[in-house]
Amino acid sequence: MGPLPTPYLHPDQGSAERVRPGAGERRFIARTQAAGLGGQLLRDEPLSRHCSYRLGGPVDLYVSVTKEEDLIAWVRQAQTLGYPWRVLGGGTNILVADVGVRGLVIENRCRGHQLREEQTLSVSAGVSFAGLARRMARDGYQGLEWASGIPGTLGGAVVNNAGAYGGSVADVLRRVRLLEVEGTIKGREATAAELGFGYRTSLLKTRRAGVVLSAEFAVGRQDPKILSARVERLDEHRRRTQPREPSAGSVFKNPPGDYAGRLIEAAGLKGERLGGAQISALHANYFINAHQATALEVAQLIQRARDAVWQKFRARLDLEIELIGEWDESIRLALVN
């Protein structure tokens, strides 16, 4: 059975006023300074600077790393001290609360890739997934052309089993290197079969048991002109059907046998606007930041679309994007149940 219709959210249902953390944060900062960890630690860094929606509040502590050993060190330090943390890639596929995020955000900018034996591509998790797909096509390696327009980094693509135009990560992934964070923090390899891939999900998303460090993909040789032409056709399709305004990509997963965008459009909400947030007039499963939108306005619009589709078609729409930060529990329940 699908979700019951819920009352629309009101502005006073947003997150509580942000309060400065206390001794726990000071202790964490002191320990990291003493350990000499790589990267500049910033306080109250606006996440609107680091996410594709260009909205959302600050995070208590923020650090950007370019070396894998620094990423591991920050995760280990936070985990050991019991300080809340999360890794951020390209900042896509997320909606950050207006009041912001508690704890530490580690931006993974570890980048690099290499070909092994012509058929295996090894890639660091901080690499742009779309950029990687385009480079491979240009160099005559097929298998990732479908990803040439997917925003974000490789790590997020693996966690979410990103896909488009009939392709997905699960189709071409061979194995990943993970930093396990349940119990003892340690690195290990996992095959694609171990990751429990499903439609836009994996065990890495549902269990949050590890951080992707790198991944290996199966690729094959093909004429670069053929691959580049394929990428250009996909680019042209995206230009015609997807908005350029700030967004998080597709907001909802497609329900079985249908498309979320079609259902929202059929419910009469294509182009609908609420404050600075809008359901795109190009693609109804894209909710854009049309003009200085707040995260709450986007959330209200998402709820309106979800309820309208349920009321008209009795079709349940589940979020593909993730709410992160200090959201009021009533908002989470309205959008994810």
Q: What is the pLDDT along the chain (337 residues), one digit of tens a residue?
A: 333 333 334 333 444 455 566 788 999 999 999 999 999 999 999 999 999 999 999 999 999 999 999 999 999 999 999 999 999 999 999 999 999 999 999 999 999 999 987 789 999 999 999 999 999 999 999 999 999 999 999 999 999 999 999 999 999 999 999 999 887 788 999 999 999 999 999 999 988 879 999 999 999 999 999 999 999 999 999 999 999 999 999 999 999 999 999 999 999 999 999 999 999 999 999 999 999 999 999 999 999 999 999 999 999 999 999 999 999 999 999 998 8
Q: What was the pLDDT predicted at 207?
A: 84
* Catalytic annotation, residues: 200, 250, 320
Q: What was the pLDDT predicted at 147?
A: 97
User: What DSSP string describes 32-72?
Assistant: HHHHT-SS--EEEEEGGGTSTT----EEEEEEEE-SHHHHH
CA distance 305 to 317: 9
| CA terminus-to-terminus distance, the chain | 11
> Which letter, b or e, does each residue of 283-307 get, where b requires 16 or more Cβ atoms within 10 Å of its Cβ?
bbbbbbbbeebbbbbbbbbbbbbbb
CA distance 326 to 100: 6
User: What DSSP string describes 153-188?
Assistant: BHHHHHHHT-EETTEEHHHHEEEEEEEE-SSS-EEE
List, in order of start, the domains of the chain with CATH numbers.
11-108 (3.30.43.10), 113-239 (3.30.465.10), 244-336 (3.90.78.10)
CA distance 60 to 153: 23
Question: How many of the other CB atoms lie within 10 Å of CB of 121?
Answer: 21
Q: Per the confidence metrics, is the pTM higher than 0.85?
A: yes
CA distance 272 to 238: 21
